[in-house]
Amino acid sequence: MNIAYFKDMDSLYIEISPENPAQSWEAHKGIVLNLSEDGRVVGIEIEQASQAANLDILKIGGFPGQIEIIDKNTSGSTH
């Protein structure tokens, strides 16, 4: 899973699965779900993200305790 904020477009994208979506569906104004061929959600886009959420508190990492990173290229590691 990846999270990216595109400041120039004020768009927050949450990639749930690294695959190209087959279709998109606007679930709510400014909230777009990207769907796989079989209907699974593979990504979520939040347009005008700075107006929809407080990005000042957006944290990537820095969580308390150990975080397990699962990488299909390795057997998994703990950080």
Burial code of 27-42, b = ≥16 C-beta within 10 A, e = fewer?
eeeeebbbebeeeeeb
Predicted TM-score of the model (pTM): 0.69
- Asked if the model's pLDDT at residue 71 lies above 80, the reply is no
pLDDT at 56: 75
Phi, psi dihedral angles at 33 (to 5 degrees): -100, 130
| pLDDT tens by residue, 14-24 | 999 999 999 99
| pLDDT tens by residue, 22-45 | 999 999 999 999 999 999 999 999
